[in-house]
Amino acid sequence: MGRPTIAVCVQREFWKAVRGGLSAADAGAAVGVGRRTAQGWFVRAGGVIPSIVDDPGRARLSLAEREEIACLRSADLGVRAIARRLGRSPSTISRELGRRPAGRGGYRASTAQAEADRLARRPKPARLATELVLRREVQDRLKLNNSPEQIARRLREDFPEDPEMWVSHETIYQSIYVQARGGLKRELARHLRTGRTLRKPRRRTGERRGRIPGMVNISERPAEVEDRAVPGHWEGDLIMGSTASNSAVGTLVERATRFVMLLHLPDGHTAPAVQEAMIATMATLPEQLRRSLTWDQGSEMANHVQIAEATGLDIYFCDPHSPWQRGSNENTNGLLRQYLPKGTDLSFYGPGMLDNIAAELNARPRKTLHWRTPAETLERLLSDQTDPPGVAPTA
């Protein structure tokens, strides 16, 4: 005989513990299974919570219901009578009793439950395993280092009349990480931002990620910021250096012109350090270029109230995990990686070096600006705003 199958309810509790932030080994110990078994479950699933461990809904019979069916059947109740007692349809009860033919032992709840669990574990064909055109499109975009969420959203934009070319970002992640689902090869994971070959829970036990006090959501940002007609609205973020150095460079991008400014952070990227650098950098700009700033919900902006008071900026925060809400900044950060490579100590770059990098980017012609440079576009917009009434701006 082979090893006994561990009940699905135990696996369900294991994955709930993982979802709550425990490591695979600790989650296994919590539900009473060995370390190797727990690690095996985690690796085979690619770190993705399997659907089999979700709590059964009303559509599926529970073990308690199957035990009730066994008792009522042994009392010689018919299919319709059992269905009425359980509040189920007669066809459901009929199919259930047919799951195991009534032999010498009759219907057994444990046997029926084991068979249901086995069928539920049966691999289902994934969309990216069977729809080759969609799979090729997703693979090509992953190789361009597009994130699954970016791919999912762009597919709807690029194929608005073809729902067969739509796929959710979660399906893409599962096709990469859960190899049993087929479709995408796991080596494509290196094109993801994390580069991980296993999915990891974001939150650890005891960790709390509270909202930044007093923050204003991007949904309250004025419409004039969206149309990019008026300069002075900025997007910001940090570019991180190597883990060992704990270094970072702050990036600021003006939405209308794509003009770049870089924050030197020699003392780390704590909230006070970012506050000091932000205020010093914004002080170099005229007032009409200090209208608003959009940032993500990183703790480095915990002092946003003080920054707003000192600079006159209205500060807005993106939704969690929504980098497209700072699209100009995300694009610019990608360009900056040519100068500030991943995995390096960014404290090496002093303020003069950062100014030179920003100046080079600001002198680079941009397609989105009709091949003008950010510096030229900013100068033109400022000139248009300062022309006296009745004087046409120069071409």
Backbone angles phi, psi at 48, to 5 degrees: -95, 130
Residue 246 has a pLDDT of 86
> H-type helices in the chain, by residue range?
8-19, 24-31, 35-44, 63-74, 79-86, 90-97, 109-121, 127-130, 132-143, 148-158, 169-177, 223-227, 271-282, 304-311, 327-336, 351-362, 374-386
- Residue carrying structure tokens 């969690």: 320
Residue 386 has a pLDDT of 55
Mean pLDDT by 10 residues, the chain (395 residues): 58 77 80 83 68 56 83 88 86 80 65 74 64 85 82 89 84 65 55 52 45 85 86 94 89 95 91 94 92 92 93 91 88 91 90 94 91 91 61 37
pTM, to two decimals: 0.49
Residue 209 has a pLDDT of 46
Residues 233, 316 contacting (CB under 8 angstroms): no
- Among candidate residues 286, 173, 308, the one with its CA nearest the CA of residue 236: 308
